[in-house]
Structure formats: structure tokens, C-alpha cells
Amino acid sequence: MNDPVIIPWWVLALLSIFTAIAFVDRIFAPGVRWFFRRRVNEAIDELNTRLDLRIQPFKLTRRQSLVDQLMYDAKVIEAVELEAQQTNIPRSVVMKKAQRYAKEIVPHFSARAYFGFGTRAARWLSQFVYRVRLGYSDDEAIRNIDPDASVVFVMNHRSNMDYILLTFMASSRASLSYAVGEWARIFLLQSMIRAMGAYFIRRDSGNELYRRVLARYVRMATRQGVTQAVFPEGGLTRTGALREPRLGLISYTISDFDADSDRDVVFIPVGLNYDRVIEDRILTSKREKEATGRKFRVKASSILGVFRQLFWLRMKGQLYRAGYAVASFGSPISLKEYLGDKKINLRKLNDKKRFAEIEKFGKVLIDNIGAVIPAVPVALVATVILRLKGKEIGELELKSKIFELISSLEANGAYTHIPREDRDYAVSTGLRMLTLRHIVDKTDQGLYKANPKETVLLEYYANSIAHLL
């Protein structure tokens, strides 16, 4: 019995490795996880004392738990059953397809990634490209929002910089959860976007099962109080003007809202405007081709040329960045109050009446967004230059007409961004931006006129405030 047992050395090595793994997994790892989890929770508690809108526990839940919660939602299971019946595909196969959609949609929020890297990167990039300014903001009303309410920032969509600019501008208020299109599903980038709390969507998807899974996730996040950011227009404006609302995500957010039992959903209108939209020529390329026959193509040589020009201007001290980028925050709109005034319970309406009411509400959101879009210098100059219909004008007369436009806008309650509170300087910066880009020409006699080859681009910038006139 006491004779020694001889085993090969490689068996001893394997046993030692397995013992070490078991020790780390069962004893060491839980302690380390507890230590770091406590540090993270302390950091989040400290963050919540500084944010106007707290980070909700739902965002901090493990991603796999959220996927499981979504998969066993009654509406998702119902959608799976319906898909299986209609296509004669086994239920287990349809369930795996729904699970794939759920994993594609559900984010993996990291407070460290969002506040440690994301907001800092957004701040650096925004301020590198633009002179970033806060326009109108109803701070008191935003601070008085019910802490238990789900908050949704709704904004116009002019540029892909909108995501970055709003992340920076709202970083002292909340952590935002965006809906991001498939364009961002790139290796490594998609992991970072998920860590920032964003979720991916397939725009214009006709797959009913996918839409049901997406709808349930959005509704689930809303019920749990996640602060979201939504573009009701559904995509970038290609004319510069506000688009009609596309109600996909808004509908998912409020379609089965019950004012008697659900937490309130509060919408904060956000208006964004830029002196220069980085991708303006890409966005207007279709209209440009229709109007002039010219094509605009993105080439590597063109991009390198732009960076070379920017470097040269920086060396000469003449780099004015891309002008001003201004964000305004309007008065919050409570869904409970809105529906209460109309004595409507969306959950009790049939599909046709419910969608009709959501359409009306979408129009209210767009109108409120439009009301807080700031009039920036380039938009003011572009509007007046267009009205001249190709006529030449002196600088003093041009400024006089722009001053009249500013007074008219302000009389109508619109916010006009006047840098340094100096109207003369505001007009000069807008005019400088347009002349540097040869959208407006300056004659040898010192007169200004629209460049007839750039009418589409001039209209694009004037359209950003056309609804305010």
C-alpha cells in the first residue's frame, strides 16, 4: 500500500497545469474580478454624481444576460413561432437566426471606454476640426427631468460628425446609446462602437423577424431607462433641409407605451449646424450631377491633397479649421404629458390609429428640432447671396442685408450664432469661408457674387435655415 506510484513526467506536468488552472479559476480569479468590479462600481457611482442623467443598471448588465433576456421576451418568441409557421423552417433553426440578430444588435457598454477614451477622443476631434460652441440650451428644464424617466435625444442629421459632436457636447449630461448603421461594422471599430454603448441596425431591412428583435431591444432599453440618441430623419440630409421623419426607431420606442404603468419617455430636441459639413460634396453629388452633369468621386489622391493643403495652411498660420459647429438643446417633451393632453393610450389603439398618432408625434419632434437649429455664419451669408440671383454686391450692402436677416430670424425666436457677439465679425467669418472655397467669388472691384458652378452647394447651406424664415 505504501509503495510509491510512478507516473510519466508529462502526466505530472498536465496535472500541475490543470491544478494551476483550477486554482486561478476557482480561487484567484473571483477575487480579482470582485476587486475590479468594486473599483468600476465606485467609478460609476462617482460619475453618476456628476451627470445630469444617471447611467442605468441595464447598460451595465453583462451582454450575454441581455441577449438571453431579449431571446426569451414574449414578443420575440411569438415572432419566432410565426416565422417558423410561415416558412416551414424548424423552430430551432429560426431561434438560432433570432439569436444571431440579438447578438448583432445588443451592445457591450463600458464606462471606461465611453468616458475614458470615447468622450476625450470626441472632444479632441470636434475641436480639431471645428470651433465648437453651445447655442441655446434649456438647462433648467433638462435638470428638472424626472430621474426615473427614459430620455431620448432627437436631432437633425447633417453629418457623420453629428455622433462625435453630440457625444462631446452631452458628455457632462449623460452617456448616449446610438443606433449605428452597418457602415460601422468593421473589424475592431465595431468592438469600440459596442463598448461605447451603440447598437447596430440594418437600415431598410425588410426581414420581419429582424425588425421584431430590434423593436423589442429598443423597447426593452427604453423601459429600463437607457438614455438614447436618435435621428428621426433616418439618414443624412442631401439637400441641407430638414427631412420628413422616418418613424422606425421612434415607433419602436413608444408604440406600446402605457402612460398608467410605464416610466415616462422624455424627448430632448437637439439642433446641429455647421459652417462646413466635411462630406458636403459627397452628399450633394447626385444633385450636382443632375444640375450640371459633373461627377464627384472620392479619390485617394484628393484626400491626400486636402491633408497637404491643411498642413500648408497650418504652417502659414492661415488654417481657420472648418468654421463653427453649434449645438442647441431645446425644451424636453414628455410623452406622458403629450398623450395625457390628448387623452390617448397608445397600447389600447389599433395598429392604424396607433401609427397615425405616432406620425403626428414624429412631426412634433421634427418641428421642435427645427426650431432650435442654430443659424451659423455660413448659412446666413449663403441665404442672402442666393437671394441676389447672381448679382454683384458690395461688402457694406451685403452686411446690411445679412443684419436684416439676423434681426428677422431673432424676431421669430430663432437662435443665431454670433461669434464674439459681433455681427460684423460673424458675417466676415461666413464670407471668408465661402470665398476660400470659391463658392462665392470676389471681383477685382471688391464685389461679391455667387459662383454659378457652385449653386447646389450654396443652396445646401442656405437650406439649413430655410425652415426658420
Q: Is residue 293 part of a domain?
A: no
| Domain match, 167 and 133 both | yes
Give me the CATH number covering residue 226: 3.40.1130.10
Read off the pLDDT band of 254 (50, 70, 90).
confident
Choice between 238 and 322, residue whose per-residue pLDDT is larger: 238
pLDDT at 1: 52
Label residue 184 by pLDDT band (50, 70, 90): low
Per residue in 257-269, pLDDT (tens digit) is: 888 888 899 999 9
Are residues 390 and 368 both part of a single domain?
no
Same domain, 143 and 270: yes
Number of domains in the chain: 3
- What is the C-alpha to C-alpha distance for residues 59 and 44, in angstroms, rounded to an integer? 11
- Weakest-pLDDT range from 14-23, 74-83, 147-156: 14-23
Which range (171-185, 205-219, 392-406, 411-425) has the least confidence? 171-185
Host domain of residue 332? 105-278+322-372
Cβ atoms < 10 Å from Cβ of 436: 14
| Percent of the chain predicted with pLDDT > 90 | 36
Q: Quick check: is 208 in a domain?
A: yes
The confidence score (pLDDT) of residue 48 equals: 52
Does residue 205 register a pLDDT over 80? no
* Co-location of 356 and 386 in the same domain: no
Q: State whether 198 and 261 are in the same domain.
A: yes
pLDDT of residue 320: 61
Q: What is the pLDDT of residue 189?
A: 66
Residue 370 pLDDT > 80? yes
* Position 322 confidence tier, pLDDT thresholds 50, 70, 90: confident
Higher pLDDT, 36 or 20: 20
* 314 found inside a domain: no
Across the range 108-113, mean pLDDT stands at: 79
Q: Note the pLDDT of residue 34.
A: 47
Q: Kindly state whether residues 145 and 36 are assigned to the same domain.
A: no
Q: 309 pLDDT band (50/70/90 cuts)? A: low
Most confident of 28-32, 120-124, 297-301: 120-124
User: Which grid cell sits at 430?
Assistant: 461666413
In a shared domain, residues 359 and 391: no
Whether residue 95 is contained in a domain is answered as: no
Q: Do 22 and 117 belong together in one domain? A: no
Q: What is the CATH number of the domain that holds 418?
A: 1.10.10.10
Q: Is 205 left (phi over 0), alpha (psi -120 to 50) or beta?
A: beta
| Residue 305: inside a domain | no
3 pLDDT band, cuts 50/70/90, is low
Q: In the predicted model, what is the mean pLDDT of residues 53-71?
A: 81
Q: Which of 92-96, 102-106, 403-407 has the highest mean pLDDT?
A: 403-407
| Domain co-membership, 367 together with 260 | yes
For residue 58, tell me if it sits in a domain: no
Task: Please report the pLDDT score of residue 61 as a whole number.
Answer: 78
Mean pLDDT of 220-226: 88
Q: Is residue 245 located within the same domain as residue 366?
A: yes
Residues 191 and 252 in one domain: yes
Least confidently predicted of 115-129, 384-398, 429-443, 451-465: 115-129
Nearest partner of 406 among 430, 377, 435, 385, judged by Cα: 377
Per-residue pLDDT band at 326 (split at 50, 70, 90): very high
Task: Say what the pTM is.
Answer: 0.84
State pLDDT tens for residues 372-423.
999 999 999 999 999 998 899 999 999 999 999 999 999 999 999 999 999 9
Instruction: Output b/e per residue, 282-304; b: 16+ Cβ within 10 A.
Output: ebbbebbeeeeeeeeeeeeeeee
Residue at 157: amino acid letter:
H
Give the cell for residue 331.
425644451
Q: Are residues 196 and 333 in the same domain?
A: yes
Last residue of a domain, one of 372, 402, 431: 372
On whether residue 165 sits in a domain, the answer given is yes
Segment holding 267, helix H or strand E = strand 265-274
Residue 35 confidence (pLDDT)? 47
The pLDDT value given to residue 375: 96
Instruction: Note the helical H segments in 24-160.
Output: 29-50, 57-60, 63-71, 74-87, 91-105, 111, 119-129, 139-143
- Poorest-pLDDT segment among 65-74, 172-181, 360-369, 406-415: 172-181
In-domain check, residue 98: no
Mean of pLDDT over the chain: 84
CA torsion sign for 325, 330, 334, 339 is negative
Q: What is the mean pLDDT of residues 85-94?
A: 89
